[in-house]
Structure 1
Amino acid sequence: MRTPPDYRALAPTIGVDPAAIPTIIGSAARSWARLGEARRCLSELDADAPEGVALFALGSLGRLEASEASDLDLAAIYRGDAATAAAADQRRSEAATRLRALGFEVADKTFARALDLDALVADVGGRQDTCDHLTYRALLLTEGAWVHAPAVARGILDAIFQAYTRGTIASGRFLSALGNDLHRYYRTICVDYRHKVEVAGKGWALRNLKLRHSRKTWHLANLVLFTWASEVDEDAREGLIAAHLSEPPLARIAAGLDALGAAPLAGPLFVAYERFLAALADPEARASLDALDHEARTESALYRDLRGNADRLDDAAQAIALHLLENHQRYMIRFGLL
């Protein structure tokens, strides 16, 4: 993703008034500006930067959906032949300190430790592969925006992408190895939700709504993109997917449906997603959802509203999926369902 999507210009093509999606438009502009601030801030580290270490913004900032209430998922990836884990962890720590001084809420959760690129790509699908490896691969490819060492970052992303495409036997003429791994990640986070709320006792409402809005939209964007790619010449598929995979999910869906002659189907999805993003941009709404007990969910007008909105997003997503199934049946049944 080299430039942000112009949702204002895109809106008429999907049958939506730009005035109906102000949060989507504003979040994209704000996120792009904040990425620029982060990059300029961390460029000061370049003079003594260890070779082979790159830093990425993941999550809502990487998807260009961030609000003032969003935190920053900061991931550090290094090449083991050029840097050590200790050097990469130190670089991430230094960057996090600088970014916090700039007002970023840097999270130290899933992405707190640097990972070796070799570990991510050496055993995809094998016994040494882990949920963390899968998470990093899926998110780096689909929402990883560099914030430090762009040339190294580009090489890392290319290496991850090529881990799926360089095979002579299993890569698939529809890049099915990559599509299956992205699908696997989506199903993994669906099951992970169960563990977090049932076993780990973590807050459920916000996780539930994210699963039903942003995670589902992410998955749908992959289905749309790969279906689109299935309709172009075989020698153009890899380039098409490489060019669009890192775009924000909403932009990916709009571009894919437009190419498939079904752009208006994206309109209801955008409208439902707008309501979700607007709620997440409200600190009071987020706090209310974070504190909401499952037993009290029906007493919360906010939760009831967003649950209904999730149903509307479901309807919009199902209309898109049904269109893909009816008009691109061979690909969707073989790779999307079976």
Structure 2
Amino acid sequence: MYKRVLTDYPALLEASEYTKQQLNKIRSALSSELQDSPHKEQITIVTVGSYGRGEASESSDLDLYILFNSDRDAEDVIADELIRIKRVLDGLVPNETGSTGTFGANVCVRFADIQSNIGGKDDTNADITRRLLFLLEGTWLYGKERFRSYRLDLLARYIKPNGSDGKLARFLLNDIIRYYRTIATDFEHKVSDQKQEWGLRQVKLRFSRKILYFSGIVAVAETADLPQQQTLEKINDWFDYQGLERIYQAAPALKETRQVLELYEHFLAQISDRKIRQNLEQLNKEDRASCQPYCELREKGVELSNVLTGWLKEQYSPEHQIHQALLF
């Protein structure tokens, strides 16, 4: 049903089809490249960002990291595999990944590193980012069954079988909220202290990051009244959907759902236009008032916030646990 709905939104449909085709190529190439590796059952490759959201285009980079299931350092065990993985990915997606070090074909972590210390002093910014994006928009490039198993194990850290039935998954919700606020705080640090580009990053904060956050809220809210074990299983199912589809599947008949899709369609069409994208990439904060595409997208971003607020009120009764949980 959702795929049919996308026919009304050409930019979303084009991005979805492009992503699907590219993911098929990448998955096939990695499967072939690693088929003879003695360590292939220990390797899982995760992608997030535009490829995880189903919104990739020719200008997209590939945000990814590798989960290596071993107590030994990946560089000591699978050095050859890492070279081959990078060669495959560079050939299919030549655009450079961001320079933060959180993602890339050379980034190998153990699953335990993102699963443990949640909320503790050793829960680093990189771990929070990898963990929450894994859940909210992640998909697999290599190791499909391991990816799904890891996701269920990760969710089980948040949702305990001995927890109270019929209660929100508050631990998970709180980490989603914390991560979204971290994104907003990081944005100011990156553009003010690190002098990274401002315009396009700002627009993405108003659209794709907002949908990332809101769709996580939806997954938690939709499982509020279930027994704990069912909550775990159903939230895992909800995370099979990409962010926009999660919102659609929760409330396909709401007029606000169509409005969300329309606003996001406009955003995606704008940043897919090469000239507009270049203008946004080069835009400084001081010059924002003179950039017509930015001003228009800023207003659309405000509208999106209003529509999502209305969506939440229409979808969930005033007595629903989600409303209070978002405040306290």
Alignment of 1:266-281 (within 5 A): 266-281=257-272
Decide whether aligned partners of structure 1 residues 123 and 163 sit closer, same or farther in structure 2, where only a CA change above 3 A counts: same
Work out the CA distance in 2 between the residues paired with 1:33 and 1:67. 11
Q: 2:151 aligns with which of 141, 154, 157?
A: 157
Q: Could you tell me which amino acid in structure 2 is paired with residue 40 of structure 1?
A: S
Is 1:76 the counterpart of 2:66? The answer is yes
Decide whether aligned partners of structure 1 residues 169 and 243 sit closer, same or farther in structure 2, where only a CA change above 3 A counts: closer
Q: Could you tell me which amino acid in structure 2 is paired with residue 286 of structure 1?
A: R
Decide whether aligned partners of structure 1 residues 151 and 328 sit closer, same or farther in structure 2, where only a CA change above 3 A counts: same
Is 1:201 the counterpart of 2:192? The answer is no
Q: 1:334 aligns with which of 310, 313, 324?
A: 324
Decide whether aligned partners of structure 1 residues 292 and 159 sit closer, same or farther in structure 2, where only a CA change above 3 A counts: same
Work out the CA distance in 1 between the residues paired with 2:48 and 2:136. 9
Alignment of 1:183-332 (within 5 A): 183-232=177-226, 236-258=230-252, 263-324=254-315, 327-332=317-322
Q: Which residue of 2 aligns with 1:28?
A: 16
Q: 2:2 aligns with which of 4, 7, 12?
A: 7
> What is the Cα deviation at residue 231 of structure 1?
4.2
> What is the Cα deviation at residue 106 of structure 1?
4.8
Work out the CA distance in 1 between the residues paired with 2:271 and 2:38. 35
SS of 2:44's equivalent? strand
Write out per-residue CA displacement over residues 143-196 of structure 1, whole angstroms, 9 at most, x where no aligned residue.
221111223323322322222224646999422211211121111101111111
Is 1:111 the counterpart of 2:111? The answer is no
Decide whether aligned partners of structure 1 residues 116 and 321 sit closer, same or farther in structure 2, where only a CA change above 3 A counts: same
Decide whether aligned partners of structure 1 residues 148 and 292 sit closer, same or farther in structure 2, where only a CA change above 3 A counts: same
Decide whether aligned partners of structure 1 residues 41 and 236 sit closer, same or farther in structure 2, where only a CA change above 3 A counts: same
Decide whether aligned partners of structure 1 residues 116 and 171 sit closer, same or farther in structure 2, where only a CA change above 3 A counts: farther
SS of 1:153's equivalent? helix
Q: Could you tell me which amino acid in structure 2 is paired with residue 72 of structure 1?
A: L
Kindly report the root-mean-square deviation, in angstroms, between the aligned alpha carbons of the 2 structures. Answer: 2.3
- Counting aligned pairs with the same residue, the percent is 26
> Is contact 2:207-2:301 (8 Å) kept?
yes
> Is contact 1:76-1:92 (8 Å) kept?
no
SS of 2:251's equivalent? helix
Q: Could you tell me which amino acid in structure 1 is paired with residue 121 of structure 2?
A: R
Per mean C-alpha deviation after superposition, the further-off stretch among 147-156 and 120-129 is 147-156
> What is the Cα deviation at residue 199 of structure 1?
1.3
Write out per-residue CA displacement over residues 122-160 of structure 1, whole angstroms, 9 at most, x where no aligned residue.
211112211111111111112221111223323322322
Q: 1:179 aligns with which of 164, 173, 176?
A: 173
> Is contact 2:49-2:62 (8 Å) kept?
yes
Write out per-residue CA displacement over residues 80-138 of structure 1, whole angstroms, 9 at most, x where no aligned residue.
34x53314675444212212212442515321321111111121111221111111111
Q: Normalising to structure 2: TM-score of the pair?
A: 0.89
Decide whether aligned partners of structure 1 residues 10 and 89 sit closer, same or farther in structure 2, where only a CA change above 3 A counts: farther
Decide whether aligned partners of structure 1 residues 40 and 328 sit closer, same or farther in structure 2, where only a CA change above 3 A counts: farther
SS of 2:64's equivalent? strand
| Paired residues, number | 321
Decide whether aligned partners of structure 1 residues 315 and 238 sit closer, same or farther in structure 2, where only a CA change above 3 A counts: same
Q: Normalising to structure 1: TM-score of the pair?
A: 0.87
Decide whether aligned partners of structure 1 residues 295 and 218 sit closer, same or farther in structure 2, where only a CA change above 3 A counts: same
> What is the Cα deviation at residue 250 of structure 1?
0.5
Q: Which residue of 2 aligns with 1:47?
A: 36
> Is contact 1:80-1:118 (8 Å) kept?
no
> Is contact 2:15-2:57 (8 Å) kept?
yes
